[in-house]
Structures are given as C-alpha cells and as structure tokens.
Amino acid sequence: MGARGGSGLYVGRRAAALVAAVLLALLAALLALAALYGRCRGEEAPPAPPKSPDGAAGGAGVPGGPPGVPSWRRLPRHLLPLHYDLELWPRVRPGQAGPFSFVGQVNITVRCRQDTRAAVLHSAGLRIRGAAVRGPLPEPGDAVWGSLPNPGVVVEVPELQEAAGEVAVLELRGRLQAGRRYVLQLGFQGRLEEDLDGLFLTRYTDQGRSSMLIASQLEPTYARTVYPCFDEPAMKATFNIRIIHDPSYVALSNMPAIDTSEMKDENGSLWTVTTFKTSLKMSTYITAFVICDFDYVTRTERGNEIRIWARKEAIKNGYVDYALNITGPIFSFLEDLLNISYPLPKTDLVALPDFGAGAMENWGLMTFQESSLMYLPSDKFTSRKAMIAIIVSHELGHQWFGNLVTMKWWNDLWLNEGLASYFEYLGATFVEPRLSLDKIFYDHVVQPVLREDNEVGVRSLSQNEDKIKGSFSLISLFDSITYNKLYLKEFSFSNANQDDLWTHIQMVVDAQDEVHLPASVKKIMDSWTCQNGFPVLTLNITTGTISQEQFLNKKNENTSTDSYNNTWIVPISWMRNGSSQPLIWLDKSSKFFPEMQVSESEYDWILLNVNLSGYYRVNYDQLNLKRLVHLLENDPKAIPAVSRFQLLDDVFALTQFGYIQIETALELTKYLAREDELFIWNVVLLNLVPENLESTLKNYEVYPLLKKYLLKRMLPIYHYYAGFIRQNVDALEHDYFAKVYLEKLFATACWLGLQDCLDLSYELYTKWMDNPQYKIPFLIRRTVSCYGVALGSDKEWNFAWEMYNHTDSTKEDKDILLSAMSCAKESWLLHRYLQYGLSDTLFSSNCTSIIISYVVTKDIGHRIAWDFVTENWPLLNERYGKELLHDVLKVMGRFVNTDVQIQELQVFYNTTLEEDERVTATLLLEFAKVENVERRQLLTKVADWLHKNVDD
C-alpha cells in the first residue's frame, strides 16, 4: 500500500566487479530496515485437506458445522484457480439516493489437484445464487467469456454452505477428479457501502456539483467481499473482467478496455458494458475497479500509456500535472535499474477524493488519496512535491515487488512492502535530485522506526503463519515496522518467500571471493528476522570490546526471552579520527577488537554505525563521548551530518530508556552554535522542547536557563533563515528541510522570547491585516499567526476570526487560525473563544474539542480551559458524549503538572463519569502521577546542569 518510508540500493551493471559493494549495500540496507520482517521458521506447506473415508477431500469441518466446512484458516489446495471470467454490475445512477447494491457473475476455471466432493472458496458478505460446477474440461483449452468449449457435464450442487472464516462451500453430488479442470459458476449480490473497503461508493464535490464514484480497495482480504474467489496471494490467475455501468461514467480496471457496448436492464433502461483485455497472472487483492466521471491527462513512456484521473476541476487547474510528469521517468528508471520491463500496456493512476488506504498498487490501476497526487501552485513552500514523488515511487515499485513477484503468504508481507519501500527514495531522488536522500531517509524512516521498535511486545518483521488469523491480523501488518524494514526474473508472475531472497543473495556470495561473511546469508538475516526489536551496541575504547543487548526500556521490569538470546550478527561500519575503516562483524554478545583500542590522545576517537548504515543504536563509554564532545565543539563537520543526527538521537534515546544520564546527552548539545543542518536541530528540539512539555518547561527554574542556553546556540541558524524570510523567501523553494522543520525552529525561538522572532511575527501578521491578499510565508505561517495574535489585542484576534470565516479559507488555513486564536494573552478573549466553541452556528461540532485542546496547551489557557470544561460539563457531555470526553481528558491529563492538579482531576472524574469511564480515566491519572515524579527529577537534573553550563 502507500509509502511510509523505505531505503534504496543502486545495483550497477558491472556486476562482477561490484559484487562486493552490491552485497554489502543490500545487507546494510536490509539490516537498516531491520526488525526486518522477521521469521522464525521455514515456510510451512499449506494444510492438505483431510481425507474422508472414501478418499475425497472433505474435512471434519467446524465442530457442529456442516460436513465439508474446513476448520483451518487457509483454503485447502484441492482446487487451484487458473482463470476468472468476472462481471460486475453496480446498480448506481448519478443523483440516486441509495441504498446501493451490486450484482455479478463469476466463472472460475480451476485445476483439481485431489479428488473432492466439495469446492471451498472465499466469500464474505455476499449473497451467492445459482451456483454450478461444469466439467471436466477437455485438455488443453481455456474458458472464454460467454461460453465454455465442450463444458462437459454439470456436477450438481445440492447445497451451498456459508461457513465461518469467510468461506463458502459448494457440496457436490459427484466427485471432482484430480488432474482435471472444471468451471465454478456463481452469481452473487452485495451491498455497496461508503466504508472505503471492498467495492465502495464515495461522494464528493466537483466544479460546485455533488457527484459520486465507485472504487475498490481489496488488500488484504476484501476481494472476497466483491466476488467469490480464492482470496490468497499465492493463488494467482488470469482475469477477464467486464463492468456494467451508467453511460455517463467511465469504467477502469487493471487492463485496457477493448470493447464498449450497450445493454438494457429489465426495465428497459440503458447501461454501458465495458470489457477489458485478459490480464496477466495476478493475485485477487490487486484486482481493481473504478467507475467515475473524472477527466484525465496522459502521456506515453516507452509504449506504456500513463493516465492520471481526477476531478474535472483538478485536471483543468493542472493539479496532477506534476504527478504525470514524474510517473513516466520513474517507470523508466525502475525498468533500467531492475532490468525487467513493465509488463502491462497501460497504467492508470486515480486520485480519489476519499480513500482510506492512502495509496494502493493495484496492477495497472493504482489508486491514491487525491492529496497524495495533487500539487497546487500555492504548495511551492510545502514538502508536497517530495511527498508525491515518494508515494508515486513506492506504488510504482510495487508493480515489480508485490505484483510481478508476490509473497506466498501475508507473514512475508515485507517482500512486498519492504522492497517497494527499498526503491521509493531512489525513484524520488531521481526525479527530484535536490532532495538529500540520505538525510531524508534517516530522518523520516530509520529514526521513527527506532523509536517505535523498542518494546518487548513489538512484533518481529515476518510473522509465523499461525499468528496471522484473519483480516484484522493482516491489516495490523501494515504498520511502520513493515513499511520500513534479486530474484525478480525467476519468480515473475509467481510467489516467493523470505528464504527465496536469501538463497539468491547467497548465490551471489558463492560466485565471488572478495566478500567473506561470518555466516550464511540466511543465518545472518534470521538473526534479525527471528526476533523482535534491535540491539544497542556498547563500545569501550579502553578495552576495545563491543557488547550487544536488545534495546529495551531499562525502567521497566519486563525482560525479553528469545530463542536467539538477543544476539544479532551485526555489520559495523566505523571510522577512526575521520578515516573510514574496514567493515567488522559482531557475531557474539561481546567481542574484543584490538583495532578499537585507542591512545591517550584526546584527538583519538571512534564512531560506529557511520551514516546510520546499520539498524542499531550505539552507546559509547564516557571517554569516547568526551572526545566526541570535544570534536564537535572544534570541528563538527569531521562527523558526517547523518552521523551527527544519529549521535544526538541515540544519546537522547539512551537517556529516555535509562541507559545513561541526561547530563551526558546535554554535553553533546554544547556545539550547536556551529550546527547548520535543520534536520539535526529538529531532533534536538524534539528532545529538549517537546510540544507536550512546553508548559512544564516554562517553570521558573528551567525556563530562564534553557532560554539563555538555547538562544545562544540558535541565533546563527535562526538569523540565516530569518534573512531569507525577510528578503528572498523564494530562495527556499528547494530547501526540503526548511519546508519541513523551519516552523519548529521559529516556534521555539519565539517561545524562548527571542525579540527578533516576536518582531518578525508581528510585522508579518500586521502586513496581512493591512492587506488580506498578502500571504504570510507558508514555512512559518502557524508561528506567525499565533504570535501575531499573542502580541496584539482584540483587534488581532478579531482579524483571525474574520479570516477563519472567509469563504475561500482552506482546511489547513482554518486549522492554523483555530490554533492562532488560542494564543491570545488576554484571558477574556480565551473565555469568549471557548464560548464561541459551544455555538452550533459558529462552529461545527467537531471543532469544540479542538478549540478546548488548543486553549489548554497555552500558558494562561490551561486553567481557563479546565474551568470551562467543569462548568459546562453537562452541556458538553449531552452534546458530544464520550468522544469529546476522550479527546479533552487525553489532552488535560498530558498537561497536569502537579499532584494537586491530578487530585482535582480525580475528583472531577469521580463526580461526573460512569464507572467504566472512571476506571479508564483513573488509570491515565496513575500514569500521569508516575510521569510527574520522573519529570520533576529530570527537570531538577536539567536545571542543575544548565546552571553550570549556561555561560559556556
């Protein structure tokens, strides 16, 4: 599905000469994504259907269920699909009120692999009618639409059972014979909902008119809700598809349309029939259908017709032109890189106004949330171009990894998602060469996964098959661990598992003698994929030893028990005194490396995991950390930017999880006056000034010290960017990190009271008030709007209110203004704002909790918001119920700073909440109490350290 990050690898054409680089790069990239889609066992064979006494596959069935109903989750393999003839007819007309339904017919040609008296396939939420089985078919010969060549006899279906597990069982009067082909014929009917899964309907506005469209989202197991099928990724088949639809719509599917005709329904009404070319062999979850009245733009790339479909208004305004311009070049780039041509004659990309999956890689018919494809001229100072390039690259990567070669079962989902992500940043960088690929990848992908993949309960990358029990379990695999953790030709139009990939890498290793691994590729990779989490390596430069353990929260008592004893086979890239050193391997819990011992010189230092090439954290001894602090203060560029980022991120994570003290992390921030990389500043500010602690940090002990310490170091980079804001903001159009992180830098500078930041904010806000056509630079619009209101009075607040109610304000503009109005420093304005929030005529109901949440996070707003909630609770509860309660209490609990406030919240819970709600809220409060104790201890340490170092 949609892109959530990934890495990249360039495979050169001179394979023999570069085999070492290829292998090491691949291993490093896979490890860098690692928690790698782990697996602790070999691929299990699908369960064979149990034999009934007469030798036919029938099965004991579900206890108490009808005979022939299997009790396993996977379909039995006595029938394998070869070809589908599928007709879909959504009974939808423009302007129709609903409810909506669809009907259809599917003829599935199957090969019988074992004698059986039952046909078992998937069906969920469908009403099946007119089931029949014909055959055996003559050999050779394929079914074609409308007629069957010598279809043979009809095998009677006296009973159709819909069993648990989303399967349908056709009980047969006769026996299907092993080795022969048959056709299952089923009519079906289903409901067309607006839930964004399966075949769904969605409403939208285009050129001022209300419209609706029909689209599909079938991954992972929603194909069975659209048509009866063998809905498993390994059960590939070819498809003939035809769609019956209203004549005012166009129908799209995986393959090009080859015919359109007309037909009349039972009432004599006219419908259009669109028939599509026979597909390539593919899995059910990437079949796709869209029925819409969109327009499109098109271009041809190496014979591949590329069309991007969107609302007529978006096409007319050129909003998808950027996506069109990059899609073809990315296709060509991937073809050249992989040396395998794209096998389809056309590609459609559809921008859906409402789409829950974000993006979906259906073969030949990719679907996207429209915001993922549309680039507006006003977006020039957002990161939208990069986002579009990354998402499009990800979905195009799936055309090979996932569609051409597919995982055998969902436990190896990483073979789809991981390898598509593996190329997405390469494709994006190819079309947007100004992007700093390495910095973006580690900032957006590796660091967030390292933050998430560190608890005992976090799953390993590839799950054991018996843990993947149903649709809910499958959907849970589509998380950041999966997305962020060369066998194509052999497995084209087929399926593979993880070990197939290791086998092919091993073949490359065995064919050369330049690279020597400490173990087989499978053993190395299984050390990562058979256990959850990742290691932290601890280096002692005095003894030259490196030890490893699983990175866990040492503040918790939980311990991990794992068959691999938390030992990984780790490739370690390292440098000494600025010079890169040969790769070493840590294949034990602890190992002595004589080359890691250093001299007494303070200029003799070691850095591990250079450019974050491995998926682990590093903990240095105090001696090496002291030398790195000295190095950063004197020559920060001696350490590569990504490694500086990693060093700071690691040290704050080690602090948070109890490995080292906060003072150690703070020592590494002394050099920051010489740091000119925004993405590094961002990781520092996220740790030193997290948004959920701003009010806590504003206490009398820490705030003045933090203000003096940080501003002294922020001034150089602040003034550098402030100069662009004042004189030539257009020069930042291609500065990706300015688009992403400049807001945080400016917001922190203003929060710390930097007068230049406050003056600039008020100056730009006043300029906007004087001329509402003026646009505050998007890069800092939220900060400027907030402090423009904060530094003014009711005049500035009323202007924000007026702009909020302006008819052409975008959704993003409105959210910025909702936040800005909570920044007022006069309490009466906040009281009035909260009262406005109660009005159904001034705000939509979902804005009420947003307004309260914004106000409660502000310095003077916390008490005002709390009083407002308690005074108006009966009305708030009556109108908005548990949803608002959940939103408000979640925020309130985050901003309580003292035990007295916690007690006050507890009293409120006891007097206003139902028992079940009270239990949940009390647990949150208990957690807040513990956090308060830890927070006070931490702030005391920070204050003490700042006292000693603020003037350095």
Nearest residue to 9 (alpha-carbon basis) of 334, 479, 323: 334
Count of C-beta atoms within a 10 Å radius of residue 832: 16
- Quote the pTM value: 0.80
Domain containing residue 908: CATH number: 1.25.50.20
Residues 730 and 839 in one domain: no
Domain final residue pick, 243, 277, 293: 293
The two three-digit tokens of residue 681, written as one number: 């500043």
Residues 781 and 839 in one domain: no
pLDDT value of position 4: 37
pLDDT value of position 95: 85
Residues 462 and 333 in one domain: yes
Mean pLDDT of 523-549: 89
CA distance 367 to 348: 8
Residues 742 and 849 in one domain: no
| Greatest mean pLDDT among 134-148, 314-328, 510-524 | 314-328
Domain final residue pick, 258, 293, 328: 293
- Residue 585's φ and ψ, nearest 5 degrees, are -125, 135
Query: Torsion angle, CA of 690/695/697/703, rounded to 10 degrees?
Result: 120
pLDDT value of position 148: 41
Mean pLDDT of 852-865: 87
Domain final residue pick, 824, 843, 863: 824
Q: Using pLDDT thresholds of 50, 70 and 90, give the confidence band for residue 13.
A: very low
Query: Contact, 583 vs 573, CB < 8 A?
Result: yes
Q: Using pLDDT thresholds of 50, 70 and 90, give the confidence band for residue 496.
A: low
Residues 6+ away with beta carbon under 8 Å from 878 = none
Q: DSSP string covering 167-207, please?
A: EEEEEEEEEEPTT-EEEEEEEEEEEEBSSSSEEEEEEEEET
pLDDT value of position 173: 86
DSSP secondary structure code for residue 412 in this structure: G
Is residue 45, in this structure, part of any structural domain at all?
Answer: no
Residue whose structure tokens are 């990724």: 233
For helices 811-821 and 781-790, give the axis angle rounded to 10 degrees. Answer: 30
Is residue 333, in this structure, part of any structural domain at all?
Answer: yes
719 annotated binding-site participant: no
Residues 6+ away with beta carbon under 8 Å from 811 = none
CA distance 5 to 424: 8
Residues 608 and 481 in one domain: no
| HEC letters along 869-893 | HHHCHHHHHHHHHHHHHHHHHHHHH
* Residues in the chain, total: 952
Q: Evaluate if residue 15 carries a pLDDT over 90.
A: no
The two three-digit tokens of residue 319, written as one number: 């909003």
Between 13-27, 331-345, 560-574, 845-859, the lowest mean confidence (pLDDT) is in 13-27
pLDDT value of position 23: 36
Q: Evaluate if residue 416 carries a pLDDT over 90.
A: no
Percentage with pLDDT > 70 across the chain: 81
CA distance 829 to 849: 17
Q: Using pLDDT thresholds of 50, 70 and 90, give the confidence band for residue 49.
A: very low
Higher-confidence position of 594 and 926: 594
Segment 281-318, tens digit of pLDDT:
999 999 999 999 999 999 999 989 999 999 999 999 99
pLDDT value of position 565: 63
Domain total in the chain: 5
pLDDT value of position 419: 65
pLDDT value of position 459: 52
Nearest residue to 821 (alpha-carbon basis) of 789, 845, 848, 846: 789
394 annotated binding-site participant: yes
Residue whose structure tokens are 């149903």: 470
Segment 934-944, tens digit of pLDDT:
888 888 999 99
Domain containing residue 554: CATH number: 2.60.40.1910
Residues 6+ away with beta carbon under 8 Å from 81 = 108, 109, 110, 229, 230, 235, 236, 237
Query: Contact, 757 vs 784, CB < 8 A?
Result: no
Angle at 932 between CA 928 and CA 938, to 5 degrees: 140
Residues 6+ away with beta carbon under 8 Å from 508 = 19, 22, 23
Q: Evaluate if residue 509 carries a pLDDT over 60.
A: yes
The two three-digit tokens of residue 887, written as one number: 């939103």
Q: Evaluate if residue 765 carries a pLDDT over 60.
A: yes
- Residue 471's φ and ψ, nearest 5 degrees, are -55, -40
Is residue 238, in this structure, part of any structural domain at all?
Answer: yes
User: Residue 527: left (phi > 0), alpha (psi -120 to 50), or beta?
Assistant: alpha
Domain containing residue 275: CATH number: 2.60.40.1730
Q: Using pLDDT thresholds of 50, 70 and 90, give the confidence band for residue 589.
A: very high
The two three-digit tokens of residue 741, written as one number: 């992180």
Count the alpha carbons within 13 Å of 886 in the hemisphere toward its beta carbon: 6
Higher-confidence position of 787 and 57: 787
CA distance 543 to 917: 56
- Residue 229's φ and ψ, nearest 5 degrees, are -165, 170
pLDDT value of position 342: 86
pLDDT value of position 752: 94
Higher-confidence position of 933 and 178: 178
CA distance 6 to 917: 40
CA distance 821 to 788: 10
Mean pLDDT of 56-70: 35
Is residue 1, in this structure, part of any structural domain at all?
Answer: no
pLDDT value of position 464: 56
Mean pLDDT of 188-217: 93
Q: Evaluate if residue 737 carries a pLDDT over 50.
A: yes
Residues 6+ away with beta carbon under 8 Å from 806 = 772
Is residue 40, in this structure, part of any structural domain at all?
Answer: no
pLDDT value of position 463: 53
CA distance 919 to 922: 5
| HEC letters along 314-377 | HHHCCCCHHHHHHHHHHHHHHHHHHCCCCCCCEEEEEEECCCCCCEECCCCEEEEEHHHCCCCH
Radius of gyration for the alpha carbons in the chain, expressed in angstroms and rounded? 31
Residues 252 and 298 in one domain: no
Higher-confidence position of 627 and 435: 627
Count of C-beta atoms within a 10 Å radius of residue 262: 9
- One-letter amino acid at 909 equals Y
Query: Contact, 182 vs 110, CB < 8 A?
Result: yes
Domain containing residue 319: CATH number: 1.10.390.10
Q: Which domain holds residue 757?
A: 673-824
pLDDT value of position 57: 35
- Residue 105's φ and ψ, nearest 5 degrees, are -140, 135
CA distance 155 to 58: 16
Residues 665 and 677 in one domain: no
Q: Using pLDDT thresholds of 50, 70 and 90, give the confidence band for residue 443.
A: confident
- One-letter amino acid at 524 equals I
Which residues are known catalytic residues? 395
Residues 367 and 498 in one domain: yes
SS3 content of the chain, % helix, strand, coil (to 5): 45, 20, 35
Q: Using pLDDT thresholds of 50, 70 and 90, give the confidence band for residue 528.
A: confident
pLDDT value of position 557: 58
The two three-digit tokens of residue 626, written as one number: 């002291």
Is residue 349, in this structure, part of any structural domain at all?
Answer: yes
Element (H, E) at 116: strand 116-122
Mean residue pLDDT of the chain comes to: 82
Nearest residue to 885 (alpha-carbon basis) of 856, 852, 861: 852
Higher-confidence position of 561 and 264: 264
pLDDT value of position 14: 30
CA distance 631 to 412: 44
CA distance 451 to 657: 11
122 annotated binding-site participant: no
Residue whose structure tokens are 């190329």: 423
Higher-confidence position of 534 and 671: 671
Mean pLDDT of 671-694: 90
Between 33-37, 454-458, 527-531, the lowest mean confidence (pLDDT) is in 33-37
Residues 648 and 550 in one domain: yes
Residues 6+ away with beta carbon under 8 Å from 600 = none
Segment 349-386, tens digit of pLDDT:
999 998 888 899 899 999 999 989 999 877 777 788 88
User: In terms of C-beta distances under 8 Å and separation of at least 24 residues, what long-range contacts does 540-543 make, across chains too?
Assistant: 540/621, 541/596, 541/597, 541/598, 541/605, 541/606, 541/620, 541/621, 541/623, 541/624, 542/597, 542/598, 542/621, 542/623, 543/592, 543/597
Nearest residue to 945 (alpha-carbon basis) of 670, 751, 649: 670
pLDDT value of position 211: 93
Residue whose structure tokens are 């029939």: 273
Segment 73-120, tens digit of pLDDT:
689 999 999 999 999 999 999 988 879 999 999 999 999 999 999 999
Percentage with pLDDT > 90 across the chain: 49
CA distance 433 to 10: 15
pLDDT value of position 430: 86
Residues 662 and 678 in one domain: no
Segment 699-718, tens digit of pLDDT:
788 899 999 999 999 999 99
Segment 599-638, tens digit of pLDDT:
989 899 999 999 888 889 999 999 999 999 999 999 999 9
Element (H, E) at 498: helix 498-510
Residues 233 and 286 in one domain: yes
CA distance 360 to 349: 10
Is residue 19, in this structure, part of any structural domain at all?
Answer: no
Count the alpha carbons within 13 Å of 98 in the hemisphere toward its beta carbon: 12
Residues 159 and 265 in one domain: yes
CA distance 283 to 279: 11
Is residue 22, in this structure, part of any structural domain at all?
Answer: no
